[in-house]
Structure 1
Amino acid sequence: MTEAPSFTAEYAAMQRALALAATPGGPLHPNPLVGCVLLAPDGTVVAEGYHRGAGTPHAEAAALAAAGDRARGATAVVTLEPCNHTGRTGPCAQALVAAGVRRVVFAQTDPNPAAAGGAATLRAAGVEVEGGLLADDARALNRVWSTAIELQRPFVTWKLATSLDGRSAAADGTSRWISSRAARLDAHRLRALCDVMLVGTHTVAVDDPELTVRDEHDRPLERQPLRVVMGERDLPEDRRVFNDRAPSLQLRTRDPGAALAELWRHEKRHVLLEGGPTLAAAFLGAGLVDEIVAYVAPVLLGSGAGAVADLGITTIADAVRPEVTDVMVLPGIDGEEPNVRLVMTPHRKQD
């Protein structure tokens, strides 16, 4: 029987596959980032590939195409369990069997019920299969996608900018700018990672945001997330969120769950909640916030709009206490004071 590559060779190949998966430099909504390396029995690399976006060959298919006949008898090292369904492309599990691949080593089990089962299909065809190699690294690479697939709804990040005393605007309604330029640049980086930016009708009516992603020179990026306005209020067509600089959609509902269900049907996987305190409270109250990113400025206002509306909390024992997962000081630019970025995970409501 032909020998398989050593564990050391497979481990190195998985590290390479993870690096390949990250090549696009960001999410491929609605698809995950995936890389694949094909190894000869002696552990040398035969071919490699990675997924480049919806409708393009999956990582395994790209590697198989590069390998040609050399794929026969090879070991496929892939960051995600090979898919078992026909979508925009064919099932990778069947492609690996047809190519004569002898062994498959994957990192993360596919959480997508529509695509899962590739490992079983491979084993049924006589292919040796092993899963779990660097699984935590693979899941971290696709953290948002994996969580969204498991929840069967978009992952929700609530982004807010606040003063030290928790105000999102002064008493007269002004809020430009509470956060620093460095914080705003970082917020645009965050916007670029999402495929939806969501606000309420009140924010659009009062603040008229454009909700585009821009670079450090204030130029719009080529890829723009979907701008979504949630609420039943009629809005003037001349609001900037409805211009032609990015796609937009109004969801005429006040129900966060219904809004996310509709966005899921649109194959959206990551929502950035950019609305005001009322919208934030609605999502928090429904247990539909998965991550909080707060930019805190060294400013005291004393009065004005709070960062979040009434959550029905009357005693400190009932306070929402998110888990802090990251803290970063964003240095000041052009003489501005530094801001602090906090990344937190709320505790989801138990069913």
Structure 2
Amino acid sequence: MGTEPEQSPSPDAVALAFRLALDAARAFVGATAPNPPVGCAILEASGNVLAVAAHQRAGTSHSEALAIAECRAKGLGGAIHTIVVTLEPCNHFGRTPPCSEAILSTTAKAVWIGAADPNPAVVGGGAERLRAAGLTVRSIGALDPSLAASAQRLVEPFAKRMLTGLPWVTVKQAVDGSGAMIPPRGQKTFTSQDSLKLAHELRRRADAVLTGSGTILADAPEFTVRHVPDFVSRNRHLAILDRRRRVSTNYIDAATARGFRVLLPHSLADALHQLGEAGALEVLVEAGPLLTESVLVSPFWDEHVRITADKDGPDRVEVLSQPHSFALTERS
């Protein structure tokens, strides 16, 4: 008589677990710099999800270690069979031990990976380490290309910084029906409450805000996250392009008191290089018409979120992407 094939989670169970891992990671976008947001889910052989976790802050445990610890705390360590993770497990010592070794300390038989580690400084990938130890390692793209695309988008800011030294640049632009960016006299905005919430969600995920002196002189914006919950004790950079040094020390002191680390770079390129060196993964440009256009005609921007106000209905939101000069690949 032949032996029964070993039970493994079904493709549907793996896909569901991967979506849970993506959702967990997305909850911490904007909190993990200079590390990327990463989510992990663990399944038993039948396909039941045992644990879901996400990396929450640089210097704290990675998602794989957290999920494994959760399983063991529940007394389910021996049931670990399949691990799905949005980014290839690390295979080097940093602030925390390698996730590949944490996985190898379990009973895991298989690992599904969303995106390959784009860090060129990492010698020897986690996928290779796990395969060499006898685990089955697969790309989630072989199961569902859309899940792989979601995982890759999640890590693109980290990838850009690793491969170019520069942060991901998102340009937020709000315009009225005629295409003008200047609000009516006495108002700071002309968009809907939903659009205002979106703007604050963009701030929440950013590690830095970049603006110009004209915007500050016009209405002294706070650039804080108020319309959605922010991360506890979150400090961001505020880069102000102010060649004529028109911004007052009072404003800079007030911004510092709000938790910002203020930079006064000489140019857009200088600002992005400084922010990249400081570990910022994503920069949100919130500026007036001249600086916004200057960024959009430069090679530095990655995503353009354009909000067009509509008095008679919902605002229109368009998201445009810049073709990248760097590439992300999967490991099958």
TM-score (norm 1): 0.74
Measure, in 2, the Cα distance between the counterparts of 1:203 and 1:112.
36
Measure, in 2, the Cα distance between the counterparts of 1:341 and 1:40.
41
Q: Are the aligned partners of 1:64 and 1:71 in contact in 2 as well (CA < 8 Å)? A: no
Tell me the equivalent position of 2:113: 106
> In the TM superposition, what is the alpha-carbon distance from 1:288 to its structure 2 partner?
1.0
Tell me the equivalent position of 2:237: 226
Which of 190, 194, 200 is residue 206 of structure 2 equivalent to? 194
Which of 6, 10, 14 is residue 10 of structure 1 equivalent to? 14
Pair 109,164 (structure 1): closer, same or farther in 2 beyond 3 Å: same
Pair 127,159 (structure 1): closer, same or farther in 2 beyond 3 Å: same
Measure, in 1, the Cα distance between the counterparts of 2:255 and 2:97.
37
Tell me the equivalent position of 1:97: 104
The alignment status of 1:127 with 2:130, answered yes or no, reads no
1:27 counterpart letter in structure 2 = G
2:6 counterpart letter in structure 1 = E
Structure number having the greater helix percentage: 2
Q: Are the aligned partners of 2:235 and 2:261 in contact in 1 as well (CA < 8 Å)? A: no
- CA RMSD of superposed structures (Å): 3.4
Task: State how 1:133-282 maps to structure 2 within 5 Å.
Answer: 133=141, 134-169=147-182, 174=185, 176-182=187-193, 183-215=195-227, 223=234, 225-234=236-245, 235-239=247-251, 242-254=255-267, 256-282=268-294
Tell me the equivalent position of 1:28: 31
Q: Deviations over 1:221-257 (max 9, x none)?
A: 8545332212333332112663411213123312x22
Task: State how 1:314-325 maps to structure 2 within 5 Å.
Answer: none
Measure, in 2, the Cα distance between the counterparts of 1:38 and 1:220.
28
The alignment status of 1:340 with 2:316, answered yes or no, reads yes
The secondary structure found in structure 2 opposite 1:168 is: coil
> In the TM superposition, what is the alpha-carbon distance from 1:297 to its structure 2 partner?
3.3
Tell me the equivalent position of 1:302: none
> In the TM superposition, what is the alpha-carbon distance from 1:260 to its structure 2 partner?
0.9
Higher relative contact order (CA 8 A, sep 6+): 2
Pair 149,48 (structure 1): closer, same or farther in 2 beyond 3 Å: same
Q: Are the aligned partners of 1:212 and 1:224 in contact in 2 as well (CA < 8 Å)? A: no
1:21 counterpart letter in structure 2 = A
Measure, in 1, the Cα distance between the counterparts of 2:309 and 2:23.
35
Q: Deviations over 1:295-350 (max 9, x none)?
A: 32359xxxxxxxxxxxxxxxxxxxxxxxxxxxxx9x5xxxxxx5433322245689
Pair 239,11 (structure 1): closer, same or farther in 2 beyond 3 Å: closer
Q: Deviations over 1:159-218 (max 9, x none)?
A: 122233333338xx95734523423343223222212111123433444322222228xx
- Residue range with higher mean Cα deviation, 129-138 or 269-278: 129-138
> In the TM superposition, what is the alpha-carbon distance from 1:158 to its structure 2 partner?
1.2
The secondary structure found in structure 1 opposite 2:198 is: helix
> In the TM superposition, what is the alpha-carbon distance from 1:279 to its structure 2 partner?
2.2
Q: Are the aligned partners of 2:177 and 2:309 in contact in 1 as well (CA < 8 Å)? A: yes
2:8 counterpart letter in structure 1 = P
2:69 counterpart letter in structure 1 = A
Q: Are the aligned partners of 2:172 and 2:286 in contact in 1 as well (CA < 8 Å)? A: yes
Tell me the equivalent position of 1:64: 68
> In the TM superposition, what is the alpha-carbon distance from 1:19 to its structure 2 partner?
3.6
Measure, in 2, the Cα distance between the counterparts of 1:258 and 1:252.
6
Tell me the equivalent position of 1:304: none
The alignment status of 1:297 with 2:309, answered yes or no, reads yes
> In the TM superposition, what is the alpha-carbon distance from 1:44 to its structure 2 partner?
4.1
> In the TM superposition, what is the alpha-carbon distance from 1:117 to its structure 2 partner?
0.9
Pair 11,221 (structure 1): closer, same or farther in 2 beyond 3 Å: closer
Which of 78, 82, 92 is residue 75 of structure 1 equivalent to? 82
Pair 185,97 (structure 1): closer, same or farther in 2 beyond 3 Å: closer
Pair 15,191 (structure 1): closer, same or farther in 2 beyond 3 Å: closer
> In the TM superposition, what is the alpha-carbon distance from 1:106 to its structure 2 partner?
1.6
TM-score (norm 2): 0.78
Q: Are the aligned partners of 1:168 and 1:175 in contact in 2 as well (CA < 8 Å)? A: no
Measure, in 2, the Cα distance between the counterparts of 1:87 and 1:15.
27
Percent pairwise identity: 32
May I ask how many residue pairs the two structures share in their alignment?
308
